[in-house]
Homo-oligomer: A and B are copies of this chain.
Amino acid sequence: MGHGVTDPLPPIQTTARDDAVLKALAGFVRQEALGPGQKLPTERILAERLKVSRNTVREALTRWEGLGLVERRQGSGTYLKAAVSPDMLHMPLTLAGGNDFAGLMRTLEIRRALEAEAAALCAVRAGKAEVAEIERKLDIMEEAFHSRAGMSSEEDWEFHQSVYRASGNPLFEQIISAMHELFHRFWEHPLGVRDFGHASFPYHRTIFDCIAAHDPEGARAEALKLIATVENDLKRGAANLKLLDRR
C-alpha cells in the first residue's frame, strides 16, 4: 500500500461545476448558520446567484439528497436534513441483497451490535438535558402503547433515535436509520404476526433506567434483550409467511 506518497502526476481537473456549487453552498450554509430543518434558497435563486444553470444546481442538490444531507419537497422547498460543513467526508455504502428474510436478519445483527454500543455510550455520556429528552420520548411512546393497545412504530423509532443522538456519535443514527428504512420496506406487508413488537415494550423503560443511572453495561444488556425480542418476532413472522425459502 503506497500511502504517504503523493501522486507525482495527479490528473488535472478542468470542469467541476457541480462540485463548485456544493462547495459554495456549504460555505453559504455555514455563513448563514443554517441548521437541520431550515430551508435553503430556491433552486432558481441559487442558479441566478451562482451564475450557473438551474440544471447544474439540481445536479448538485441531487448529490446532497443522495447523501441524505438535504430533503426536497415539491411545492415547498429544499430543507437541510443534517449539519453540513465544507469539510465533510462522505462514505457511501451500498449493500447487496436485503429484501429477503435472511437479508433482514443480517441487518438485525448489525443493529444488535450498534444498538448495544449506542445504549452503553449513551449511559456514559448523556447529560441531564439528553436524559430528559429520552424520557419525554419514552413517555410519549408508552402513552401511545396504552391508548392504542399496541406498539406504535413511529413513537418507538423516535425513542431509539433520541438514544442514538445522546450517544454523542452521529454515525450510530446514520447507519441504523438506513437499516430502519429497509425494515419499513419489508414491513409494508405486515408479517401476519399479531402484536408485533409487543414483547419489546418493557425493555424500553429498562434501557432508559440504566441510561438515567449511568450504567453502561446494564444498558447494553437491556438493549440486547430488546433486539432479541424483535428477532424472535421476525422469525415467527417468517414462519407464518413461509418466507424462509424465498430468494
Query: Does A112 lie within 8 Å of B117, measured CB to CB?
Result: yes
List B contacts of A15 (CB < 8 A).
Answer: 74
| Nearest Cβ on chain B to A205's Cβ, whole angstroms | 23
Residues of chain A having any CB pair with chain B under 8 Å: 1, 3-4, 15, 55, 58-59, 62-63, 65-69, 74, 82-85, 87-99, 103, 106-107, 109-110, 112-114, 116-118, 121, 153-154, 169-172, 174-175, 178-179, 181-182, 184-185, 187-190
- Contacting residues, chain B, for A185 (C-beta < 8 A): 89
Closest CB-CB distance, A71 to chain B, in whole Å?
A: 13
Interchain CB contact under 8 A, B97 and A175: no
Q: How far is the CA of A97 from the CA of B175 in the complex (A)?
A: 14
Residue numbers in B under 8 Å from A93 (CB-CB): 90-93, 171, 174-175, 178
Nearest CB in chain B: distance from A125 CB, A: 11
Q: Which residues of B contact A153 (CB under 8 A)?
A: 1
Q: Give every chain B residue within 8 A of A94 (Cβ-Cβ).
A: 67-69, 82, 84, 88-91, 174
**A89 and B95: CB pair below 8 A?**
yes
Bound Cα distance from A153 to B3, whole angstroms: 11
In the complex the two chains form, what is the Cα distance from A114 to B175 in whole Å? 12
Residues of B within 8 A of A171 (CB): 93, 95, 106-107, 109-110
Asked if residues B63 and A66 are in contact (CB atoms below 8 Å), the reply is yes
4 closest A-B pairs (Cβ-Cβ)? A89-B98, A113-B117, A91-B178, A87-B99
Return the contact of A4 from the options B68, B114, B174, B188 (Cβ within 8 A): B188
Q: Would you call A4 and B175 a contact (CB within 8 A)?
A: no
**B114-A92 in contact (CB<8A):** no
A187: which B residues are within 8 A, CB to CB? 3
